Amino acid sequence: MADDILRIRTPIGIDYTWSSGPGSVGYMRGLENGKLLGRRCPVCELVYFPPRNGVCPRCGVLLADEVEVGPRGTITTFCVVNVPFLGQTIKIPYVAATILLDGADIGMQHLIQECEAADVRMGMRVEPVWRDKSLWTPSLENIMYYKPSDEPDADFDVYARHL
Amino acid sequence: MAPLRLFYPYDRTVGSTVGRFLTSLANKKIEGTRGLDGIVHVPPAEFDPATGAPLTEWVVVGNAGEVLTWSWQPEPFADNTLQQPFAWALIRLDGADTPMLHAVRVGSEKDMASGMRVRAVWADEPTPSITTIMCFEPEHGHG
Amino acid sequence: MRDVAIVAYIEGQNTAATSQTPVEMIVPVIHEILKRANVERSDIDFWCHGSCDYMTGQPFSFVSAVDALGAWPPIMESHVEMDGAWALYEAWVKIQTGEAETALVFGNGKSSAGDMNRALTLQLDPYVVAPLWPGFRALEAMGARAAIEAGTVTERQMAEVVSRSLRDASDNPNVLAYGYRDPDELLDEPMTANPLRAHDCPAMADGVSAMIMTTADRALEMCDRPAWIRGIDHRIDFQNLGLRDLGRSNSAALAAFHAGVTKDKVDVAELHATHSHHEVILAQSMGIDRSTTRMMPSGGALVANPLMAAGLARFGQAARQIFKGNADRAVAHAAQGACLQQNIVAVLEGN
């Protein structure tokens, strides 16, 4: 039969109770209070923000002390998003960047706004723009985006090993 | 802790054998394939289970058949075709040799027994899906 | 064939619901197993992991699990979307091919993350079975009825399995169900998924199991009495339930035959029977005499079922019986899929 169906839609929905784990409690409580709290590996002493499941992947040990990082940081790398996609909430073109927060040893991803996409560069110094305090939740979404902090660019050596 | 729902709207290609089976279901016709040993598989087997040869001979089977084994589902999931306590059964349709899984609508588990006869109940809206058979129920009304 | 032995085995604490992430659960278990075998990370030349993303509720959770291993400098590792027992099989093959000498195998599951009865539906045929959302319990219950009506299993046998498992669990600190229940008393309980009663179904758990396997060159350095894998095999039945006799397990029978189960007497068996009727079906299919073999001294998967770790736990618990000198010859088994579809069987010996 030529007109037999060829495809079916089989949606799958599963409900979970998600636990971020004890290793991330401090990180989320910090965000709730406008603080960026990372954690230090007791072996290699690198500071992780976010604390990645509370584990140092290099050493395979649970992270230890909480360390306040940022709020300012350095753009290590970035991309300019020109492609529209379903569910997009930001006007294109916009910039998504990896930011090495001051005091942290891994980059984190966030948006760069309040400047032309063409002006964003590696080494650019940025600072967070927070949502209104009444809207804060235990989430990195409390920071709407990062914007240039108008400091001189960081030296390449500062972020070279984070590329 | 927070609730999390993962949802995947999978779109699956079904191939010619399952495609024909589902298309026939949308026309309220149940058919299967005949294996090299003469066994009629419903749902259809794409390949002969013993030899791996592609199966191409189609056989129309009945809308009713016999319960081979069953179990009781006291609380339905939201995406079950029945939203009341019901039975699951392996049902061997008339003319088929292998049984298929489906839901059986009965008043209580006391109405279920292996060997009982059940008949397909079709959904109001025909769709090319196994769920276009909404369920089965006892052939002579509720037991 | 190279002689390969299990030399160390440990379990993380089984809990009904942990607030830890899977990675946080795994880290201390990896530390502990290395300590148990008195080896360093650098002594492990193959790492193999079994888990299931659909159960964790996190796509690519198996990748984040590598964080628990300290994978720097880079390590050789692999993952199976199966119980850790299949990771053991992969590690065994890796050692046989000479690509590794010492392997660390682990399995983990967080059953409390969601409704596992529903999530396990996703193992089924996605075209004409899974869209009905039968759940797993319903299928196991149909299998139990098929076995009961075929006369291969009786409800009393099922109750006796539960009674013995709960009693044995009283000596195991890492279980979620235990106690002294008379079979008659168990048979008086109501059915929750006819013909299954609540106690015929496993106590779901969050847990981790881990073991170290190595070759003859190093086994005696790591363990006084290693559990030598003398035979191992795994086989798969049709996915289509309608093609199978649910009252027995052909693939368990074949795997047991090829692993050499019946070549000699079996002192201890640790079978991955998540439902009470499975034990009877498996023993019959595999040729194990339940009256002369000590069945599941740990209490088995009925009393603690951390998904994706419970099968590997059977291998570990069987190995422990060898380590302790309680058994000279033990059979370990793990199953996956609906109604004992896939089965892996190993014969472990102390000498």
Instruction: Yes or no: say if C239 and C125 are a contact pair by the CB < 8 Å rule.
Output: yes
What are the Cα distances from residue A141, in Å, to A110, A133, A135, C153, C300? Answer: 9, 12, 10, 57, 45
pLDDT given at position B3: 87
What is the pLDDT of chain B when averaged over all its residues?
Answer: 94
* Average pLDDT value for residue range A21-44: 93
Q: What is the pLDDT of residues C2-40, one digit of tens each?
A: 999 999 999 999 999 999 999 999 999 999 999 999 999
What is the C-alpha to C-alpha distance for residues C48 and C58, in angstroms, rounded to an integer?
19
Structure tokens at C347: 């014969």
pLDDT given at position A2: 53
Structure tokens at A59: 């050493």
Q: What is the pLDDT of residues C171-183, one digit of tens each?
A: 999 999 999 999 9
The answer, yes or no, to whether residue B143 has pLDDT greater than 50, is: no
* Average pLDDT value for residue range B2-14: 89
What is the pLDDT of chain C when averaged over all its residues?
Answer: 96
Residues of A with CB under 8 A from a CB of B: 1, 3-20
What is the C-alpha to C-alpha distance for residues C20 and C42, in angstroms, rounded to an integer?
27
3-state helix, strand, coil in chain B (%, to 5): 15, 40, 45
Whether C69 and chain B come into contact, CB under 8 Å, resolves to: no
* Average pLDDT value for residue range B89-100: 98
List strand residue ranges (DSSP E) for C134-221, in order: 191-193, 196-197, 204-215
Q: If we measure between CA atoms, which residue out of B21, B42, B34 comes closest to residue B92?
A: B42
Q: What is the pLDDT of residues A46-86, one digit of tens each?
A: 999 999 888 999 999 999 999 999 899 999 999 999 988 88
Higher-scoring residue by pLDDT: C55, C252: C252
* Angle, alpha carbons B63-B68-B74 (nearest 5°): 95
Whether B21 and chain C come into contact, CB under 8 Å, resolves to: yes
Q: Which residues of B touch A20 (CB under 8 A)?
A: 2
Helix (H/G/I), strand (E/B), else coil: C297: coil
**Residue B12, min C-alpha distance to chain C (Å):** 8
What is the C-alpha to C-alpha distance for residues C137 and C332, in angstroms, rounded to an integer?
24
**Residue C106, min C-alpha distance to chain A (Å):** 15
pLDDT given at position B141: 55
Same fold: C4-116+204-222 with C135-201+229-349:
yes
* Average pLDDT value for residue range A145-159: 93
**CATH number for domain C4-116+204-222, candidates 2.102.10.10, 3.40.47.10, 3.40.50.300, 3.40.190.10:** 3.40.47.10
DSSP B13-41: E-HHHHHHHHHHHHTT-EEEEE-TTSPEE
What is the pLDDT of chain A when averaged over all its residues?
Answer: 92
Higher-scoring residue by pLDDT: C148, A158: C148
pTM as predicted: 0.94
The Cβ of residue A2 has, within 10 Å, a number of other Cβ atoms equal to 3
Task: Please give the CATH architecture assigned to the domain spanning C135-201+229-349.
Answer: 3-Layer(aba) Sandwich (3.40)
Q: What is the pLDDT of residues B38-72, one digit of tens each?
A: 999 999 999 998 899 999 999 999 999 999 999 99
In this complex, which of C19, C31, C114 lies closest to A21 when CB atoms are compared? C19
Q: Which residues of B touch A11 (CB under 8 A)?
A: 7-10
Q: What is the pLDDT of residues C279-308, one digit of tens each?
A: 999 999 999 999 999 999 999 999 999 999
| Boundaries of every domain in chain A | 20-69, 71-163
Q: Which residues of B touch A1 (CB under 8 A)?
A: 20, 23
Instruction: Yes or no: say if B87 and B71 are a contact pair by the CB < 8 Å rule.
Output: yes
Higher-scoring residue by pLDDT: A19, C213: C213
* Amino acid (one-letter) located at B62: G
| Boundaries of every domain in chain C | 4-116+204-222, 135-201+229-349
Q: Which residues of C touch A62 (CB under 8 A)?
A: 24, 27-28
Whether C144 and chain B come into contact, CB under 8 Å, resolves to: yes
* DSSP state for residue B54 in the 8-state scheme: B
What is the C-alpha to C-alpha distance for residues C255 and C258, in angstroms, rounded to an integer?
5
Residue the block writes with tokens 């660390």: C104
pLDDT given at position B142: 47
- Percent of chain C surpassing pLDDT 90: 93
Whether B8 and chain C come into contact, CB under 8 Å, resolves to: no
Structure tokens at C299: 């209490």
Q: Which residues have a Cβ under 8 Å from the Cβ of B18 and sit 6 or more positions away?
A: B43, B44, B46, C127, C128
pLDDT given at position C309: 98
* ipTM (interface pTM): 0.96
Q: Which residues of A touch C57 (CB under 8 A)?
A: 14, 16, 18
